[in-house]
A = this chain, B = another copy of it.
Amino acid sequence: MRARLGILLSGRGSNFEAIARNVLNGKLPCEIALVFSNKPEAAGLQLARDLGLPHAAIKSAGVERTAFDAQVAALLKEHRVDWVCLAGYMRLLSSTFVSQFAGRILNIHPSLLPAFPGLDAQYQALTHGAKLTGCTVHFVDENLDNGPILLQAAVPVLDNDTVESLSGRILIEEHKIYSEAIAWVLRGDYRIEGRRVLKI
């Protein structure tokens, strides 16, 4: 039985695209069981449609978090999702949702956490004057951009960088390490000690 991924996104879904490519070319031994968005107009949903992948959307605007997350969790369970991958999903998950997929939710963040958590991480890095930033794949808990770290990649900040140019170079690394991290959790040869994710 191949593992079944649920991808949650709110926007373009470029990380979803990179993951999908690696699933389709056989580099990631799993299936994409569902692509879900809290925004029906998300470009990532159209991509799922184009790729012939199961997809769904529920508008989150105006809905109470716990109730909304319960609907999303039910959808994921219905599609027998084993692993939840956040790919630009612009919502904090309720603790009920997190506990239903305990240790099976991954996220990617465009900074070297714990530096620059939250929104606009690339802008934060640029205006802080960091000379190195990057991206982080981590397990998700109820706290924002927290949870044990699986992989990180560094990206230099250049003097002539804009938020756009820096974000673009970070994205290239995101697309690599997110699939690497998914491959790692699917192999299952890791253990968690405190906050450390170690290879077995």
Contact = CB atoms under 8 A, between A and B. Distances in A.
A188 interface: no
A160 to B, nearest CB: 9
Contacts of A127: 194-196
A128 to B, nearest CB: 6
Interface of A: 112-116, 126-132, 134, 136, 148-154, 159, 194-199
Q: Which 8 A-B pairs have the closest CB atoms?
A: A129-B195, A129-B196, A131-B152, A115-B115, A154-B154, A132-B152, A159-B198, A129-B149
15 contacts: A112-B115, A112-B132, A113-B115, A113-B130, A114-B116, A115-B115, A126-B196, A127-B195, A128-B149, A129-B197, A131-B152, A132-B134, A134-B154, A154-B154, A159-B196
